Amino acid sequence: MDKNQTIIISGPTAVGKTAIAVELCKQLNGSIISADSRQVYKYFDIGTNKEGKLDNDNIRKIDGISQYLTDIIEPNEKYNAKNFEQDAERYEKMILQEGKTPVVVGGTGLYIKSFLYIILLNLNS
C-alpha cells in the first residue's frame, strides 16, 4: 500500500467501523480522523458511541490509536461540513507528515463527501 494514501471507512452507526479502523491502524501505523457529526461535541458521550478516553492533550485514544475530531467543540457551538473539510484536511496532512496512514471513519455522509471533494480538487490542481 502507498504510504500517502488515506483510507475511508463509512457506514451506519454501531456496525463496528471504529473497531475495524483501530485494528487497521495497528497494522498500518495509522491514526483515525472521525467523520461523525455528533462526536465533535464535548459531553455527547451517550448516544454517539464514543470509544476510548481523552488523553492530556485532549486527543481521544482507542487502544493506543489516536482519534482526531472528537470532543472539539462545546454543545452550544456550530460545526458543519465546511468546518469538517478544513479540519480533516489539516489532520490528514499532519498524520501523513508523521509517516502514518490517515483513516477517516464515520457515518456522516456529507462530511465524507466534502472531504472527498477536496481530495479530488487537490488531485486536479
pLDDT at 3: 61
Question: Could you read off the pLDDT of 58-90 as tens digits, one per residue?
Answer: 899 999 999 999 999 999 999 999 999 999 999
Question: Could you read off the pLDDT of 4-57 as tens digits, one per residue?
Answer: 789 999 998 889 999 999 999 999 999 999 999 999 999 988 778 889 999 988
More confident of the two residues 100 and 4:
100
CA distances from 2 to 28, 73, 99, 105 (A): 11, 33, 11, 19
- Can you tell me the distance from the alpha carbon of 76 to that of 49, in angstroms, rounded to the nearest whole number? 20
pLDDT at 2: 58
pLDDT at 1: 55
CA distances from 115 to 26, 58, 104, 121 (A): 23, 23, 9, 10
pTM: 0.92
CA distances from 28 to 7, 85, 112, 115 (A): 11, 24, 21, 21
pLDDT at 117: 87
What structural domains and CATH numbers belong to the chain?
Answer: 7-124 (3.40.50.300)
